[in-house]
């Protein structure tokens, strides 16, 4: 029996869902998915963007990304394509920050 790759239909490069103008913590999906892109509209003044793969309390064990607002610029696009096994969650957003996120849901990242 040949050992062939199993074809997987992953949603396009940008994902199949978006959340625009995020200014506060939010759970994008409580299911497994793939975090695709974060678009910075306004980096804000102070704080960090913290993205986790968890429905519970964010901590170091489920953190996908943590980046300070001083390292961000308006119009910046962060390409991730990161599989999340539990949830896709924006846990913290800097003061005055506005971000948008694209992600895929309904797709098992494994």
Q: Where are the domains of the chain?
A: 22-105
| pTM over cut 0.85 | no
In tens digits, the chain (110 residues) has pLDDT values of 444 444 444 555 678 889 999 999 999 999 988 999 999 999 998 899 999 998 887 777 889 999 999 999 999 999 988 888 889 999 999 999 999 999 988 766 55
In this prediction, residue 44 carries a pLDDT of: 92
40 Cβ contact partners less than 8 Å away, ≥ 6 residues apart: 72, 73, 74, 75, 76, 77, 78, 97, 98, 99
In this prediction, residue 59 carries a pLDDT of: 76
């Amino acid at each position: 029996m040949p050992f062939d790759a199993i074809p997987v239909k992953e949603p396009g490069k940008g994902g199949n869902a978006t959340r625009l103008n995020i200014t506060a913590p939010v759970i994008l999906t409580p299911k497994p998915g793939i975090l695709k892109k974060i678009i910075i509209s306004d980096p804000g003044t102070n704080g960090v963007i913290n993205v986790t793969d968890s429905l519970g309390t964010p901590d170091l064990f489920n953190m996908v990304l943590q980046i300070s607002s001083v390292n961000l610029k308006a119009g910046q696009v962060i390409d991730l394509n990161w599989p999340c096994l539990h949830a896709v969650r924006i846990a913290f957003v800097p003061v005055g920050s506005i971000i948008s996120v694209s992600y895929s849901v309904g797709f098992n990242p494994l």
